[in-house]
Amino acid sequence: MPKKMNLISKLHQDFVIEKIQKTDWAVVGSESPLVVELDTTEACDLACPGCISEDMMKTNNRFTNERLLQLGKEFYENGIKGVVLIGGGEPLAHPVIGDFMAYLGEHDIHLGITTNGTFIRKYLKQIAMYSSWTRVSMDAATSETFKILRPSKGGRSKFDSIVENMRLLAEIKQGKLGYSFLIQTPKDGPGLVSNIHEIYQAAKLARDIGCDYFEIKPSYRFRDGIDHALMVQNETLMSQAKEEIARLDDLVTDDFSITKAINLDFSLEGRQLVQPKDYNTCPVAELRTLICPSGVFVCPYWRAKEPFRIGDLNNHSFSEMWHGEGRKEVMDFLNPSKQCTFHCLRHESNLEVINIVRAINDGKEVDTVDEFDRFI
């Protein structure tokens, strides 16, 4: 059976419970976060139609070489446990990303990478040695479909070279390698086509490459006044998707798994996911944050949204930003029950942190587990 992410168990690791206990939840920024999501650059070598970061990437902003390397040192000094390279732009496109990854690895900061895969070969040694997991956004099983959904800026398909990059990484990697497949149809934007007919073929390719897992996800768009609303797709195409996904179990082995996004079934059934939030603060925003060259934001859902910009690391240190008045003002303003009307992956985590804090305050014992994954 396809796996679904379980974020709740991660919160009961010893180091997370210790962080929750040390945090003064009445004071914004009393403790540094555990995990940072980092856009090293807001530039990308691909030109995917309908990219959610298209407006941001028009600036081509990136951290200077010196500032990015200094950030690594500040993460270490502030007790950051994990860094996810993400975008924004393509995180591996930064000129000193190899040195940055090596610094994190050598200082026991766990590294996760989301990438389009084009730069894997250039940094093969560092990724293989230091990345806990590397997830490559593919969304296709053939060069032809890839050229439509994920073309280069020159209009070419880099599919074959990315597949070869993944093969090379699979041979020497220490961590996990994933093949990410975002369901897309013409409804997702002008010029797009359906990739549904390639779901099974892509998963089989992922297994043959040497990936550890294949991830299948639904798409989101701004709709009905809601950012990050689940797309309701064509019913006929979703029936076809169900048939493709039902076949994926045949590919599962001891070394290869299928991962379904938590909300995939809602998309397949044409239902909008309702997620009411009856809390007015976001505990997870104290445990993890998003850093971009253009600013630091509460989380990826609010990337490039000015009201949720908590600071700037071009002119301030991480510690100054995290404990500063600017971040306090945004966190006081943030109210998930009113502003986060979209489906939030961290909703269940918020509820669990609230329960853990309540149990601690009541003097109750909280169940803990040994460390197994720093990417809470």
Could you give all domains of the chain from N- to C-terminal order, each with its CATH number? 3-361 (3.20.20.70)
Q: How far apart are the first and last CA of the chain?
A: 23
pLDDT at 1: 52
Strand partners, 110: 82
At 111, list the tokens: 């590294």
What is the pLDDT tens value at each position of the chain, 376 positions in all?
Answer: 555 567 999 999 999 999 999 999 998 888 999 999 999 999 999 999 988 777 676 677 999 999 999 999 999 999 999 999 998 899 999 999 999 999 999 999 999 999 999 999 999 999 999 999 999 999 999 999 999 999 999 999 999 999 999 999 999 999 999 999 999 999 888 889 999 999 999 999 999 999 999 999 998 875 555 566 677 788 999 999 999 999 999 999 999 999 999 889 888 888 877 789 999 999 999 999 999 999 999 999 999 999 999 999 999 999 999 999 999 999 999 999 999 988 899 999 999 999 999 999 999 999 999 999 999 9
CA dihedral 214, 216, 219, 220 (to 10 degrees): -90
Q: How far is CA 263 from CA 14, 46, 266, in A?
A: 29, 27, 5
**Tokens, residue 195:** 């990739």
In contact, 85 and 40? CB cutoff 8 Å: yes
Of 143, 164, 157, give the one whose Cα is nearest residue 48: 157
Give the span between the Cα atoms of 305 and 360, in whole angstroms. Answer: 34
Please state, in angstroms and rounded to a whole number, the distance separating the CA atoms of residues 101 and 168: 18
- The per-residue DSSP string of 137-164 comes to E---SSHHHHHHHS-BTTS---HHHHHH
pLDDT at 303: 93
Read off the amino acid at residue 42: E
Provide the residue type at 268 as one letter. L
Handedness of CA 154, 91, 262, 337 (dihedral sign): negative
The reported pTM is 0.95
Q: What is the dihedral of CA 296, 299, 305, 307, to 10 degrees?
A: -80
